[in-house]
Amino acid sequence: DASAPLLAIEGLEGWYGESHVLHGVTFDVRPGEVVTLLGRNGAGKTTTLRAIIGILGKRRGSIVFDGVETIGMPSRLIARLGVGYVPEERGIFASLSVHENLMLPPRVKPGGMSVDDIYALFPNLRERSRSQGTKLSGGEQQMLSIGRILRTGAKLILLDEPTEGLAPVIVQQIGRTLQRLKAEGYTTVLVEQNFRFAQTVADRHFVVEQGRVVDMIPNHDLDANLGKLHAYLGV
């Protein structure tokens, strides 16, 4: 069913130890969509991604991916269903080369990109293939971190603030990459502070406030809703 969501989250609650931070997150993502989670610092955006990939200690509610309820599953099984997580801190192994970093995560599903496909997507990485992870620029590290997930065969990509701290020209390159992945049928959940960037890639925006999704703004309505959005983001 083409109209069935690829990811459907309902009443998601989450905790860090005793600290209750998600209070009923509800949203869904259709196949091939790019959606963003927008909201202030501490609203619960990163925690929502961590809950989806299953690395949050305690979760309750429902997260259905590709028809499978994942709320009780360990993260390695969720990854195997085809969910890839690119954390904000990128997780590049400093002592390994670019090539070794790309080869590191196991293939979890058939149909992942080859290393050559990834180098075609990010030509800078091909040039740096023998460089150590730490020798890369911030933009190259971000590309490596995205490329590594594409090799696994994941079809849902969870991206946490990929543009943070990057130069405008690199931000544009990441934007083009996301559009290209969308054209190839990937589905993306993007946490983003830069809503001007978000606007160039997303179909819909979900506003997160105090551990809940409080609003949804279709991308084509974003400009008409700037006042509301500024109030949500406190800018």
Neighbours of 77 (CB within 10 A): 14
Q: Which of residues 77-116 bind ligand ATP (CB under 6 A)?
A: none
Which member of 1, 2, 18, 19 binds ligand ATP (CB under 6 A)? 19
Name the segment binding ligand ATP (CB under 6 A); options: 5-13, 38-46, 99-107, 172-180.
38-46
Binding span for ligand ATP by CB under 6 A among 15-23, 94-102, 147-155, 212-220: 15-23
Q: Where are the alpha helices (DSSP H) in 160-225?
A: 168-183, 195-201
Binding residue for ligand ATP, selected from 5, 39, 112, 162, defined by CB under 6 A: 39
Q: How far is CA 215 from the centre of its chain?
A: 19
DSSP sequence for 26-59:
EEEE-TT-EEEEE--TTSSHHHHHHHHHT-SSEE
The Cα 170–Cα 192 span in angstroms is 15
Judged by beta carbon, residue 82 or residue 211, the one nearer ligand ATP is 211
Give the Cα separation of 104 and 90 in Å (integer): 14
Footprint of ligand ATP on 46-75 (CB under 6 A) = 46-47
Question: Does the protein bind ligand ATP through residue 21 (CB under 6 A)?
Answer: yes
Give SS3 for 139: helix
Report the residue number, 6 or 38, with the smaller CB distance to ligand ATP: 38
What is the rounded distance in angstroms from the CA atom of residue 132 to the CA atom of residue 216?
41
16 binds ligand ATP (CB under 6 A): yes
- Residue closer to ligand ATP, measured from CB, 81 or 233: 233
Asked if 36 touches ligand ATP (CB under 6 A), the answer is: no
Cα(209)–Cα(112) distance, integer angstroms: 35
> Taking the mean position of all CA atoms in its chain, how far away is CA 156?
8
* Residue 44 engages ligand ATP in binding (rule: CB under 6 A): yes
Residue 63 Cβ vs ligand ATP, minimum distance, rounded to whole Å: 15
45 binds ligand ATP (CB under 6 A): yes
**Which parts of this chain interact with ligand ATP (CB under 6 A)?**
16, 19, 21, 39, 41-47
